[in-house]
């Protein structure tokens, strides 16, 4: 009887032991090729302008780093276009993230069908990042004006739309930059409050994404890893990626 009782107790213990769970790092860093769907933290009325951009003042575009909102919304932006990752279209479509692409003519040239495909089928929108990605701060007006205007004009010809959102390369700008941007038809200069590099989300404030954060990433070799890290972080923090242009209409 004693042996039988021990056997029964052993069986009960083995059945009640929980299965091992994956480590936190595995949840934070999903496989590069398969983006998790973002959490639907709040209903979103796609296709409707939610907020207006701050007005142009003294002939200079306003600078926006974050969006003031009481909703659990976050925004993803992608810069340059240096490495056209073949997975990008699928990942963006699956996530429903609606990124803004701040592109440079020097990188888009020769890859127009790739970026047109992203813009036409993934919910992404086009924005301006200059022709050749120079540090504009301190440069003469004519140079800054040409970099910003020529990029927008080229995109208008190639994609049938002229961007009005602008990001100064490296986030560096001066009063001349803001004036040149306004003169080129830009409405706002967009910076950021968090960035993704090498699969790690980096925060300017705190240790999580906050409602209204604008997140920066790039078209690099780590595109899939970076994008999935953003989606996973947004889900963890209870935020839904939504279109930035709707809040800068």
Instruction: Kindly report, residue by residue over 176-203, the tens digit of the pLDDT.
Output: 999 999 999 999 999 999 999 999 999 9
Lowest average pLDDT, out of 15-24, 51-60, 156-165, 216-225, goes to: 15-24
Say what the pLDDT of residue 7 is: 40
Task: Grade residue 8 by pLDDT with cuts at 50, 70 and 90.
Answer: very low
Measured distance CA(97)–CA(95) in Å, rounded: 5
Indicate whether 12 belongs to any domain: no
DSSP 86-97: TTHHHHHHHHT-
The CATH number of residue 74's host domain is 3.20.20.370
> Rounded mean pLDDT of 140-146?
98
Is the distance from CB of 73 to CB of 67 less than 8 angstroms?
Answer: yes
pLDDT at 35 over 70: no
Give burial (CB, 10 Å; 0-12/13-18/19+) of 5: exposed
Say what the pLDDT of residue 157 is: 97
pLDDT at 16 over 70: no
Indicate whether 227 belongs to any domain: yes
pLDDT, one tens digit per residue, over 90-111 is 999 999 999 999 999 999 999 9
The count of domains in the chain is: 1
Rg, Å, the chain Cα set: 22
Task: Grade residue 33 by pLDDT with cuts at 50, 70 and 90.
Answer: low
> Rounded mean pLDDT of 131-144?
98
Indicate whether 167 belongs to any domain: yes
Is the distance from CB of 66 to CB of 93 less than 8 angstroms?
Answer: no
Task: Grade residue 13 by pLDDT with cuts at 50, 70 and 90.
Answer: very low
Domain that holds residue 175: 61-247
Indicate whether 142 belongs to any domain: yes
Measured distance CA(231)–CA(249) in Å, rounded: 24
Predicted TM-score of the model (pTM):
0.85
Say what the pLDDT of residue 25 is: 32
From the CB of residue 90, how many other CB atoms can be counted at a distance below 10 Å?
16
Indicate whether 113 belongs to any domain: yes
Say what the pLDDT of residue 188 is: 98
Indicate whether 2 belongs to any domain: no
Indicate whether 37 belongs to any domain: no
Indicate whether 199 belongs to any domain: yes
């Amino acid at each position: 009887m004693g042996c039988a009782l021990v056997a029964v107790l052993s069986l009960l213990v083995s059945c009640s032991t929980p299965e091992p769970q994956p480590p936190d790092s595995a949840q934070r860093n999903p496989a590069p090729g398969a983006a998790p769907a973002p959490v639907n933290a709040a209903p979103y009325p796609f296709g409707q302008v939610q907020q207006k951009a701050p007005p142009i003042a003294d002939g200079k575009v306003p600078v926006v780093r974050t969006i003031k909102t009481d909703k659990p919304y976050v925004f993803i932006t992608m810069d340059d276009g240096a490495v056209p990752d073949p997975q990008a279209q699928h990942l963006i479509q699956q996530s429903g993230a609606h990124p803004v692409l701040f592109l440079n003519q020097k990188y888009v040239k020769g890859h127009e069908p790739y970026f047109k495909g992203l813009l036409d089928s993934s919910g992404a929108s086009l924005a301006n990042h200059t022709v050749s990605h120079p540090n504009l701060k301190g440069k003469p007006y004519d140079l800054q004006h040409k970099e910003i205007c020529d990029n927008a004009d080229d995109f208008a010809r190639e994609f049938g739309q002229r961007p009005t959102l602008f990001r100064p390369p490296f986030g560096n700008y001066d009063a001349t930059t803001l004036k040149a941007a306004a003169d080129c038809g830009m409405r706002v200069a967009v910076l950021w409050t968090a960035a993704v590099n090498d699969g790690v989300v980096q925060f300017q404030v705190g240790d999580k994404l906050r409602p209204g954060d604008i997140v920066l990433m790039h078209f690099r070799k780590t595109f899939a890893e970076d994008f999935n890290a953003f989606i996973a972080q947004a889900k963890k923090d209870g935020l839904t990626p939504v279109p930035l242009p709707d809040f800068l209409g």
